[in-house]
Structure 1
């Protein structure tokens, strides 16, 4: 916000032009900031102008895809299964379901803390996200996609409700709902106790573990997209495409098998 205010804070909203936004991101790149940082700053500026448009302060935002810088290619750190369990063990008891919701159902932090008992069909094993903190609707229809989960995960998620009779599945030590900020605080404390996790590892990064788990089981991109509730397969591939097996080698092996079968057939005929 400081960088945004330094450049645009003194300006009337309607005076900012798309060309100025592009020039700003170019100057940030010239400073030597990482491409991902510049992209994040542009996204934050876009959020501010989108809010202004929503409130009727502007007819149109000067921030768009045309003004967006390159996102930069960063491969997310994927925790090991051992690290995921270590994180869960290090969290306060009432917050442990949050780790399960992120690592095995792909929920985001604002969705995990707001997930209600009524949003889970424990009999059929389905999570149906409906709201996010602080009790507002999810932003996209894709985010409302039902998530199938196994019965053993249902059992783990029901612990807090069984103990406290709580409305939400993630609770503090008194059985009450908790904010994303407080959950992230406890998550950072837990992260510091887990060997091998990088300092910048976030709660959101547990979604990467979830994605890697699905891909390792041989699920195709459309299934992974639906499970992660991405708006498009492109988003899934841009983020996780490197996790799928080498398609060139797979294609080469497929052609090789057909040719080998042909060669074997000819050899058999000659015999």
Structure 2
């Protein structure tokens, strides 16, 4: 129900009741302006995109806390979201009324992240969390539109993945104590993410078929969790080098549960492995990380003629787009393949040119 009344002071009072039967009113000097405001509000109610003007007064911190508490996601994703909110979004925007945040404020936030020295990829990941919060606020009709629109991001440094050489992998392996050498061989020969490898149990290795079943990952907290996506759950074929390395490792360090354990029989943790690998890389004089060993496995497949789809499945990427974005420069013969495809397409035209006399000038 809406109405317009003239007040004793000559101004016009426009008022309406929203879907929750709360009354809202504004005062105008001209009746036409009051009517225009009511028409706009009425149209938004009819369209279903009406937003209570008072809802936007809630702070970004308060709304984000409510939003975060009802999210359903893996523990890994929840950790990423919490880190982005707690360390970056809340300090910069948490005290602002959510309805008062403008596109320019979000752009300034992105600039702030860049000045902190964060990588382009990290900046975009933090932004994605902020965008999810504001999109949810739109869906909840707390704000009418998200300020996360037409944002300019820092340019990526554009560095292409440079996989370690087999000599670097060998040097890294030799710098480790014998107990840990099989970890390097397995990472380099399977392309597993380090969390996936640390989450393996002995029963996940099929020594006869030469495969490793990936179903779990070990989080940085030490807890076991499901892998991060459906495509990450996979059976990975591995060569005889990996199988023999694992067989020798288990013969020396038997286990009936976690595949890799430390000196005290506790499953090898992310933090311990990171320290072991860092010390070995320093001693060997190489710059190789666990993810670098994953790149090594991918590059070996590509150099052997594997297709994009095969590499995607092997690595557990959610889409071939991710595989291409990371490794497109490693696929050989792109220029020759382009020439061959164009020649095949233009074949009929080439025949026509060869059999058609040149016109006289």
Of 254, 261, 267, the match for 1:177: 267
**Cα deviation per residue 1:119-146 (whole Å; 9 max; x = unaligned)?**
1111111111111112111110111111
The alignment partner of 2:263 has SS state of coil
Q: CA RMSD in A?
A: 3.9
Cα distance in 1 for residues equivalent to 2:310 and 2:318 = 12
Tell me which residue corresponds to 1:69: 153
Where structure 2 has 5 or more consecutive residues not aligned to the other structure, the ranges are 1-82, 134-138, 352-361
Deviations 1:32-79 (A, max 9, x none): 947xx143144256569989xxxxxx979x898976836612212311
In the aligned structure 2, how far is the partner of 1:67 from the partner of 1:118?
48
Q: How does 1:69-108 map to 2 (within 5 A)?
A: 69=153, 72=156, 73-108=158-193
Length-normalised TM-score, structure 1: 0.76
- In the alignment, the residues of structure 2 paired with residue 184 and residue 63 of structure 1 have an alpha-carbon distance, to the nearest angstrom, of 39
Match of 2:235 in 1: 146
For 2:126 and 2:84, how far apart are their aligned partners in 1? 11
From the two aligned structures, give the one with the greater helix fraction.
1
Residues 42 and 68 of structure 1 are in contact (CA less than 8 Å); yes or no, is this contact kept in structure 2? no
Tell me, yes or no, if structure 1 residue 39 matches structure 2 residue 126.
no
Counterpart of 2:315 in structure 1 is 228
Are the equivalent residues in 2 in contact too, given 1:160–1:171 (CA < 8 A)?
no
Which SS does the other structure have where 1:193 is aligned? Answer: helix
Give the structure with higher Rg (CA).
2
Q: Deviations over 1:196-250 (max 9, x none)?
A: x23xx42111111111101110111111111111111110111100011141233
Query: Which shifted more, 128-137 or 92-101?
Result: 92-101
Paired residues of 1:103 and 1:209 also in contact (CA < 8 A): yes
| CA contact 1:18–1:67 (8 Å) conserved in 2 | no
Determine which structure has the larger strand proportion and give its number.
2
Give the whole-Å Cα distance in 1 for the aligned partners of 2:239 and 2:341.
Answer: 34
The alpha-carbon deviation at position 3 of structure 1 amounts to 11
CA distance in structure 1 between the aligned counterparts of 2:282 and 2:214, rounded to whole angstroms: 30
Give the number of the structure with larger relative contact order, counting CA–CA contacts within 8 Å between residues 6 or more apart: 1
**Which residue matches 2:296?**
209
Q: Which runs of 5+ in 1 are unaligned?
A: 52-57, 264-271
Q: SS at 1:132's partner residue?
A: strand
* Preserved CA contact (<8 Å) 2:110 2:127: no
How many residues align structurally? Answer: 249
1:159 to 237, 245, 248: 248
CA distance in 1 between partners of 2:291 and 2:90 (Å): 30
Pair 1:215–1:71, CA change in 2 (3 A):
farther
Q: Distance in 2 between matches of 1:84 and 1:178?
A: 21
Q: Distance in 2 between matches of 1:14 and 1:92?
A: 56
